[in-house]
A = this chain, B = another copy of it.
Amino acid sequence: MIKLNKEELQLASKINQLKDEAGSHSPSIFTLVKKIPELNVKVDACFLSNPYATDLFLSYLKEELVNTNKLRDVLEFYPSQNNVISELLAKNLCINKENIFIGNGAIEVIQAVLHNFVSKKIIVNIPTFSSYYEFVKKDTEVVYYQLKKENNYSLIPEDYVEFVKKEKPDSVVIINPNNPDGQYIKYKNLRYILNELKDIKNIIIDESFIHFAFENNDYDLISATELVKEYNNVIVIKSMSKDFGIAGIRAGYGVMNKYKVASLLENGYLWNSSGLSEYFFRLYTRQDFLEEYEKVRVKYILETQAFFKELSAINHIKVYPGLANFVLIELPEGTTSSDFVSKMLIKYGVYTRTCSDKIGLKGEYIRLASRTKEENTVIIKALNDIFVNE
């Protein structure tokens, strides 16, 4: 059990208040430090991104934009229109440009899909990323499919298909790997689901964490993007924030049948990319960048999986290892996630994500992001210490 002393209790109450104000998201580290200057944060283990990819992007940007006069162009002029950027991505994604919708972050794609294509009823698997039920239109019914604790919150294809067929929704959402548990649906199982659910109008597959998943020893990336060619009802949504470490740029896209893309572009979304997101998307089509990126992707996967292994060996906590860049952790009985988050933050400077706002989780959980190797070492040390010295 974790005990907070008087001073810690005071800070904890401030931390909890900020979390309450942030609703179904966690307060940013900037907000935390600004509002509670007593905190000395060393590691932001809430934040889900590959820090090595940020380094890589930053080095390109400095060399190609800052050290030349091109930064001014990127800031001053209008970026390209949606369909110009789609054309850039088409070759990379092995899909026609007519099937690609560029978003100001994946969240814009989620909003566009939920507001324009999802109609009466959507099935959302829980626990999940809250926007998928918070962003639906007023008149859309949300039905939750509970991922089961006894299966480590992984999705059992047959059970899921049976549930969907019974509920007859017009839309379903599958996040792969899922957030906050990191559980991954293998490609062959995804295909099984798609074959069974051909009658469902929209099958949304959110692959925002897919770059961290793998099925073979080469860590090859297996995306559902090209399945859009085979299954007319599939909508793949992809954030670039996590794998490329560029959440501040707001870059994402959706891949879906061409009539859906056309209907979105018909009277909107003309200039929703910024100069920097266009620069990123152009980099993303360049062989030199992609080769460098592949190295930092695999490096990060290796470190992340090693981190999960170390975490699993720690006493008192139950770790649910998956194939994302974060891990779900169940706390021992008698420990609340808010006390845990406060203690980790105040005593060890490690900011972790409470899952108290996540519906569909029975027990006390936190979510922990994999950061740099050095930062992960700090996290492991704190976790080995936190229950011992109390």
Contacts and interface: CB of A to CB of B under 8 A. Distances in A.
Contacts of A71: 58, 66
Interface string A229-269: 00000000000010001111110000000000000000111
A97 to B, nearest CB: 14
Nearest to A277: B274
Tell me which of A58, A71, A114, A267 has the highest count of chain B C-beta atoms within 10 A of its own C-beta. Answer: A267
Interface residues of A, number: 54
A120 interface: no
Total copies of this chain within the assembly: 2
A248 to B, nearest CB: 3
Tell me which of A80, A114, A274 has the highest count of chain B C-beta atoms within 10 A of its own C-beta. Answer: A274
A101 to B, nearest CB: 14
A136 interface: yes
Interface stretch (A103-111, A148-156, A163-171, A348-356): A103-111
B272 A250 contact: yes
Interface of A: 25, 28-30, 47, 49, 51, 54, 57-58, 61, 66, 71-81, 104-105, 107-108, 111, 114-115, 131, 134-138, 241, 245-250, 267-277
17 contacts: A30-B77, A49-B76, A54-B72, A58-B72, A66-B66, A75-B249, A79-B248, A104-B108, A104-B272, A105-B271, A105-B272, A115-B268, A248-B275, A248-B276, A250-B272, A274-B274, A274-B276
